[in-house]
Amino acid sequence: MSEGPQGSVSGKGCRVGKVSPEELEVATFPLSSCGFNVAANGSSLFLEVATPDIKADLYIVRIEEFSMTSGESQMLPAVSARLFLGSDIAHTQLAFADGALWLYLEGQPARVLELSPSTGGVVRVFRPVSPVGGAEPLITASHGYVWLAGGAGSGADFERIDAADGTSQTYDLGGGYSSVYDIFAVGGRVYFLYLAPVTRAEGSKERQTTAQPVQLGSFVGELSSQGRLVKASREEEVGGMLADVRGQLVSAGPGSACTGPEMVWRINAKTLATTVFTTLGVPGDSCLNEAGPREVATAGSALFVLYAGGSGATSLYRVALAST
């Protein structure tokens, strides 16, 4: 806590928190407006702010910038988007990639806006893109490309945008792929978690005659920088989010058993097979975590998992991953 603004541990209104990775001490800072979908570029946090205009039947979407140097926030001057009042605002995503802000919006069709991080104004519009599913869409960046997917319930297609010239290309995995629910770039490769149909037979191996109804299983996939499917795992137990801890690909989340603990898995880079690294004794069902779609973060050799379920206070877990 020796660098940057100090903040306080109390205050009214919406605030942003700063956590010391070693001591897990928390300091908070006031925000000029309540926002969501936080993105970061190393010196600032950016938040999506939606203000209802009842007469116009619209949400006015702007960007709030919080300086990690001064500890102060400001609204950027431009209007970034206008959405009809309704549930579309719940299915948006804000990310910082390749020097720009990217705002993914549900709609007919879905669209992605490249925004200026200094004004919040629209630089380029990309449409159509992968349709948004029942949650938030997904964005990641890899070596000059921005990768997009519609998120859980959307299907199995990706969009790749060249951040330099603005050209875009769609990649549809086809086949039995059902729903991509997380994507994460490491170097020149893009890893993703997806659901696909799995048919399991009843009875012993000697008499597997009647098939059960088709169920969905979890899998890990890998794309090349050119959108080619490099490999796909067998059905695996895996969490809801991917992260990279000093070259080690990991995943955290509830797995398929919602009544169990929060878990952290290692992912083998060669086979994409997963193994449990540790379990977190969260105070409630792991599937009731209300921390949102960005419940994990990394710092140094540690993974941080946020849990906001149950009746207790929000908990932050630090998981130290030994080198492989």
Q: Which of 5-19, 105-119, 176-190 has the lowest mean pLDDT?
A: 5-19
Ramachandran category for residue 118: left, alpha or beta (phi over 0 → left; psi -120 to 50 → alpha): alpha
Q: Which residue ranges make up each domain of the chain?
A: 241-324
CA-based nearest residue to 105, from 37, 53, 164, 157: 37
Mean pLDDT score, 55-68? 95
Q: How far apart are CA 255 and CA 236, in angstroms?
A: 9
> Would you say residue 10 has pLDDT above 50?
no
Residue 68's contacts (CB-CB under 8 Å, 6 or more residues apart) are: 4, 5, 18, 43, 44, 45
> Would you say residue 207 has pLDDT above 60?
no
Reading the block at residue 48, the tokens are 């999506």
Identity at 27, one-letter amino acid code: A
Name the range with the highest mean pLDDT among 116-130, 172-186, 292-306: 116-130
**Model pTM score:** 0.86
> Would you say residue 102 has pLDDT above 90?
yes
Output the pLDDT for position 146: 92
pLDDT category at 9 given cuts 50, 70, 90 is very low
> Would you say residue 125 has pLDDT above 80?
yes
pLDDT category at 62 given cuts 50, 70, 90 is very high
Identity at 254, one-letter amino acid code: P
Contact 295, 241 (CB under 8 A): yes
Residue 281's contacts (CB-CB under 8 Å, 6 or more residues apart) are: 261
Q: Tens of pLDDT along 157-166?
A: 888 999 889 8
> Would you say residue 234 has pLDDT above 50?
yes
Output the pLDDT for position 314: 81
Q: How far apart are CA 98 and CA 101, in angstroms?
A: 8
Contact 304, 318 (CB under 8 A): yes
Q: How far does CA 307 lie from the centroid of its chain?
A: 15
Output the pLDDT for position 98: 84
The better pLDDT of the pair 186, 214 is held by 186
Output the pLDDT for position 175: 61
Phi then psi dihedrals of residue 199, to 5 deg: -100, 120
Strand ranges for 72-188 from DSSP E: 73-75, 81-84, 93-97, 100-105, 111-115, 122-126, 138-142, 145-149, 157-162, 168-172, 179-186
Indicate the average pLDDT of the chain.
Answer: 85
Output the pLDDT for position 157: 84
Q: How far apart are CA 252 and CA 57, in angstroms?
A: 39
Contact 153, 160 (CB under 8 A): no
Q: How far does CA 260 lie from the centroid of its chain?
A: 22
Output the pLDDT for position 2: 36
Q: What percent of the chain shows pLDDT beyond 70?
A: 86
